[in-house]
């Protein structure tokens, strides 16, 4: 019995991993276009899909649409595993003690909320690396040699802020304003460069396309930088998980009732009706994914734009010491939405709706197909 359970668990793990990898790879270009449209648009200029595609093709070629694919596959595998694992555990408590195993739509909604929160915590570090790889595919990268030619950076700044570009005009204008040094100091400019607040306040942080590796993010932004945009991400994944599972449960109940029509004798529970076809379940998952993607899109845009911002850890430290208050209303601060992004929250909603629907359909459909193939062996 133990050997059978081990084999069954291994079959489901292999099938789930293969389906996630296949679904992510097939739908990934849509995800890249959605992200680049979200982070590249401004209130004055909304990018079209054709403009985004033309820019990626000109800079990186069509292969640029697959930048960061490996990171997303790993993050999606762990994230979906956490989402469905938490959901199954919670719904098992709901079904415990009932004569027939069933889950109400409201119960699926609450379990989906909790599952989405866990998924966000697990997948956030992989998403920021993926997003910055996507942005790099549409950005012209500056080499470190060209940056060194434009600015003179002291050894202390170079070690604390890698790839940091000093703004010499701001440095010159800041002399005698933010310093406690005497104006008769023998080398005032060099001394000011050693000041932490001058390193962050007078300079310009690196472009997001130059801070895309995990080591770069940790060195410049700290470990907390891997979870940038966590608030909006938690709201996004919670809403997505709740609506996805509740919609899927509602469609599942509707298909079960439709299948039970005309059966003799009348079935007393779902087990008496029998399993649904894999195609019907996949279509229900696709429809649920589209609805959930549209409902959570505002928070997805907020998270993408937040992850596309480079904030050195010393600026974060200064803000914490100065008790800097985040801009926006109380709701915006709670959900992690920047007030400057209010008019951009719905940008790319059509692409993400199609992307989430197709991804859910492919992942669920390929999962059932893989289960059938592995079980047959």
Q: Are residues 77 and 180 in the same domain?
A: no
Measuring CA to CA, which residue among 66, 76, 224 is closest to residue 136? 66
Q: Are residues 82 and 173 in the same domain?
A: no
Q: What is the mean pLDDT of the chain?
A: 82
Q: Are residues 91 and 151 in the same domain?
A: no
DSSP code for 187:
T
Q: Phi and psi for 149 in degrees, rounded to 5?
A: -70, -30
What residue numbers bound the domain in which 191 lies? 144-206
Two tokens, residue 188: 């005032």
Is residue 228 within 8 Å of 310, Cβ to Cβ? no
Q: What percent of the chain has pLDDT above 90? A: 48
- Model-wide pTM > 0.85: no
Measuring CA to CA, which residue among 137, 152, 102, 154 is closest to residue 271? 102
Q: Are residues 41 and 100 in the same domain?
A: yes
Q: For 12-35, how does the pLDDT look when each residue is reduced to its tens digit (9 = 90+)?
A: 788 888 999 999 999 999 999 999
| Longest CA span, the chain | 99
Orientation angle between helical segments 105-137 and 69-95, nearest 10 degrees: 170
Is residue 215 one of the residues assigned to a domain?
Answer: no
SS3 204: strand
Is residue 327 within 8 Å of 255, Cβ to Cβ? no
Q: Average pLDDT, stretch 200-226?
A: 79
> 56: Cβ–Cβ under 8 A, 6 or more apart, which residues?
32, 36, 62, 64, 65, 137, 138
Q: Are residues 115 and 156 in the same domain?
A: no
Q: Are residues 136 and 180 in the same domain?
A: no
Measuring CA to CA, which residue among 33, 100, 38 is closest to residue 355? 33
Is residue 80 one of the residues assigned to a domain?
Answer: yes
Q: Are residues 167 and 201 in the same domain?
A: yes
Is residue 83 one of the residues assigned to a domain?
Answer: yes
Q: Distance between CA atoms of 73 and 366, rounded to whole angstroms?
A: 15
The CA distances from residue 341 to 39, 235, 243, 303, in Å, are 10, 16, 24, 11
- When pLDDT is cut at 50, 70 and 90, the band that residue 117 belongs to is very high
Give the number of domains in the chain: 2
Range of lowest pLDDT (31-40, 50-59, 146-155): 146-155
What are the residue ranges of helices labelled H in 261-296?
Answer: 270-273, 278-295
Residue 143 has pLDDT above 70, yes or no: no
Measuring CA to CA, which residue among 232, 242, 248, 245 is closest to residue 344? 232
Is residue 6 one of the residues assigned to a domain?
Answer: yes
Measuring CA to CA, which residue among 212, 219, 222, 209 is closest to residue 157? 219
DSSP code for 139:
S
Q: Average pLDDT, stretch 348-353?
A: 94
Is residue 212 one of the residues assigned to a domain?
Answer: no
Q: Are residues 46 and 64 in the same domain?
A: yes
The CATH number of the domain holding residue 252 is: 1.50.40.10
């Amino acid at each position: 019995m133990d050997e059978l359970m081990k084999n069954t668990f291994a079959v489901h793990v292999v099938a789930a991993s293969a389906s996630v990898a296949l679904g992510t790879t097939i739908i990934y270009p849509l995800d890249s276009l959605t992200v680049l449209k979200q982070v590249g648009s401004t209130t004055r200029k909304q990018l079209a899909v054709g403009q985004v595609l033309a820019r990626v093709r000109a800079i990186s070629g069509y292969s640029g649409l697959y930048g960061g694919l490996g990171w997303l596959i790993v993050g999606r595998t762990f994230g979906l595993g956490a989402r469905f694992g938490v959901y199954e555990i919670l719904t098992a408590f709901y079904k415990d003690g009932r004569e027939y195993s069933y889950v109400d739509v409201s119960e699926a909604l609450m379990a989906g909320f909790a599952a989405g929160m866990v998924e966000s915590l697990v997948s956030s570090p992989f998403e920021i690396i993926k997003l910055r790889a996507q942005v790099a595919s549409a950005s012209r990268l500056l080499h470190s040699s060209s940056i060194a030619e434009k600015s003179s950076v002291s050894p202390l700044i170079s070690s604390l802020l890698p790839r940091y570009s000093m703004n010499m005009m701001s440095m010159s204008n800041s002399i005698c304003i933010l310093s406690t040094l005497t104006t008769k100091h023998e080398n005032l400019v060099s001394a000011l460069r050693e000041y932490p607040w001058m390193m962050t306040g007078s300079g310009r942080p690196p472009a997001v396309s130059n801070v895309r590796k995990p080591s770069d993010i940790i060195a410049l932004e700290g470990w907390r930088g891997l979870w940038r945009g966590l608030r909006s991400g938690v709201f996004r994944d919670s809403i997505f998980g709740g609506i996805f599972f509740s919609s899927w449960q509602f469609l599942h109940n509707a298909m079960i009732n439709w299948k039970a029509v005309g059966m003799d004798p009348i079935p007393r529970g779902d087990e008496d009706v029998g399993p649904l076809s894999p195609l019907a379940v996949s279509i229900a998952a696709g429809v649920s994914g589209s609805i959930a993607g549209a409902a959570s899109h505002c928070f997805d845009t907020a998270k993408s734009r937040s992850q596309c911002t480079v904030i050195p850890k010393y600026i974060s430290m200064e803000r914490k010491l100065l008790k800097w208050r985040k801009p926006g209303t109380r709701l915006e601060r709670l959900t992690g939405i920047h007030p400057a992004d209010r008019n951009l929250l719905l940008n790319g909603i059509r692409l993400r709706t199609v992307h989430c629907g197709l991804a859910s359909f492919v992942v669920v459909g390929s999962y059932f197909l893989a289960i059938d193939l592995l079980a047959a062996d």
